[in-house]
A and B are shown apart, each in its own frame.
Chain A
Amino acid sequence: MKLEITDCKGIKMIALSGEVDMYTSPELREEMMNLIRRRTSPLFVDFSGVSYIDSSGIATFVEGLKGIMSYNGKLKLVGIPDRIMEIFNFSKLDRVFEMYGSIDDALNSLNSF
């Protein structure tokens, strides 16, 4: 897994790639929870380079969502590949997370209210 924290037009974004599993998800959790402790919002996560995710990866995002919701922040998942989306769908988490096809779509969602 590779993880990069970038600024996307002033918005914090975690760009993920590779495999998110029990071995790699602790690093993701640490970086994401650091941002959440600083009450970052909105927080984008770019999934477009993710080739695999397991339940520990999914659990990390559930924990992150709960943390960010505690201060009414927004977590937006972007560019989720189909094979990864199947896992979110099966877990019924597609109903819980805000998901967007592209970064532009996620940015536009910020302007729609």
Chain B
Amino acid sequence: MSLPDRIDPRPPRRIYRWDLDKTYLQTEFDSLRDLVRTAFQKAHQKVAVPGASALIRELSENGDSRLCIVSGSPKQMRAVLEEKLKLDGVRWDEFVLKDNVGNLLRGRFRALRGQVGYKLPAILESRVHAPVEAEEVLFGDDAEADAFIYSLFADLVAGRVDERVLSQVLEAGGVYPDDALRVREAWKKIPVGDPVRRIFIHLDKLTPPAHFTPYGPRVVPIFNYFQAALVLLADGHLTAPQVLKIAVEMVQTAGHNIITLSNSFQDLLRRGLPLQQAAVALSQALEGPNKLLAAMRPMPDILAAFSKRLAALGTPPPPPPVQAVDYVSLIHHALPRNHKGRTKPQ
């Protein structure tokens, strides 16, 4: 873990945990060529997912929050990644990178690609130091095992997963004994609470949203960060003007428009997220003192399109049901993509 980019003595009320590759950064590492290119990219050549930096900045604006990054990138990339974050105006409190050279030298080949044995102890150890009342929102992607690991973390802290299930998961996930020990030790130190409010999964690979249904409504697959901003507005983490700022940045820098944003809004409604009030708040924000935003075309048009998309659905769909997550049956979600066990057992 590196030194924090800022020192804020106040205990955080909210903790935002982010993955980097494919969550914050548009990274390609599906082929050897992609890996090499990514490894040699300079900070200014790296591209953030549209809206991601704006979202982080707006969440940070509210103060008393902490940004914790846990990335599967190797430690050797720390300098370039930190430079990229600074270029984007992102300030962090924790920044954990993977010791892949260490894993290689110690012959821990499973750990090179394994995610459970790396991320789960890292975020549990981070939580040990957090105030018991601090809420958490986590951001990951669909390329690896983020939905599984983040959900497991949330349910471990909440006491919804017992020792037996944890052992089964760690064993099936190929976690080395020392990492398993770190998981158990950190877990025991964390007071039982239910701090995780949302887990956003950026659909970098456009995985069908139903893939994440077994994790329940806490996990929200998103096509873009405007969707995350809308949900965070409904959840009380952002204000309507902050969401408008994120939308404006996405329109101005990433080619988003009235259709993509209103479709994104409707996509969440159709999945049962209660965003009707969020839409009202956005409209009111334009009517209020934010003349600058009101002048920014095409925001008023986009909000008008929201109303049409809302009306198009007729009766709002019911919210998705809350259910217990069966981690043992979902372990194939947590295995590396080319792992034999990744295929769902019949």
Query: A and B, one complex?
Result: no
